[in-house]
Amino acid sequence: MLLGGNLISSVEFHSNMSLVLFMVGCPLRCRYCQNVELFEGGNEISLEEVKNIIDHSSEFIDAVVISGGEPLVQFNHVLDIFNYTKSIGLKSKLDTSGVYPEKLKFLLDSKKVDFISLDIKAPFSKYEKIVGQDIGGNVKDSMDLINKYNVKLEARTTFVPTLHTKEDIKHIVRNIKSDIYTLQQFRNRCVLDPELEKVENPNAIDLKRLAESLLPYFDGIIKFKTAEFGEQIVNKG
């Protein structure tokens, strides 16, 4: 398999210390992507080597998170890793763009994943305009699929001022079903499209206010994530 790196994190799987594995490969080319180095390349590594990384971290972690890139590009390896993760009593989380609902269903049927973070990059009908590929239907199918299983779901959107409007964000929230919705701050460093380096990062206070304005439209937990404040829950009332 191709791995882009790994790290220990206290924030990638809420309330758990986790080992995060970054898989190489992604079919999308989102203009604001900050993980360009994960499009291709990486280090060729065997499953046994990945098991060793997990074993060496097992005393300090509660979970393994597979992120990317789009991890389901390497679907068989994701399944192998989660099979091992569950066999030694660790929780598992997948970060995905939702572009491969068929592969996602196979993974869900395996009952090896506990938590999924699904990127909702735009209103489903505006994916082609904002992302460049008309895959909104795939993402909605993935969301609907996850909700049929006993798996916790976080939907999350990176708010890019020149690509999204505030009404886009409200439209997203009104049309999703998940346990958590996280609004993320766009950062203009090392993005795929150099033109977006000229775009100012959203003000943290403004992003918090936007997150607060979503409360009437969403029954679950709403969070916002900024460089200034980290990840915070928006309180109701």
What predicted TM-score, i.e. pTM, was given to this entire model? 0.95
pLDDT digits (tens, 9 = 90+) for 96-114: 999 999 999 999 999 999 9
For 181-191, the pLDDT digits (tens) are 999 999 998 89
Q: Which residues contact 34 (CB under 8 A, 6 or more apart)?
A: 187, 189, 190, 191
Q: Which residues of 18-37 are buried (b: 16+ CB within 10 A; e: fewer)?
A: bbbbbbbbbebebbbbebee
The residue whose two tokens read 């936007």 is 210
Domains with residue ranges and CATH for the chain: 2-233 (3.20.20.70)
Q: Tens digit of pLDDT for each residue in 115-148?
A: 999 999 999 999 999 999 999 999 999 999 999 9
Number of helical (H) and strand (E) elements in the chain, helices listed first: 7, 10
Cβ-based neighbour number of residue 102 at 10 Å: 12
The mean predicted confidence, pLDDT, of the chain is: 95
Q: How many CA atoms lie within 13 A of 36 on its CB side?
A: 10
pLDDT, tens digit, 9 for 90 and up, residues 25-59: 999 999 999 888 889 888 999 999 999 999 999 99
Higher pLDDT, 55 or 229: 55
Task: Specify the 3-state DSSP secondary structure of 113.
Answer: coil
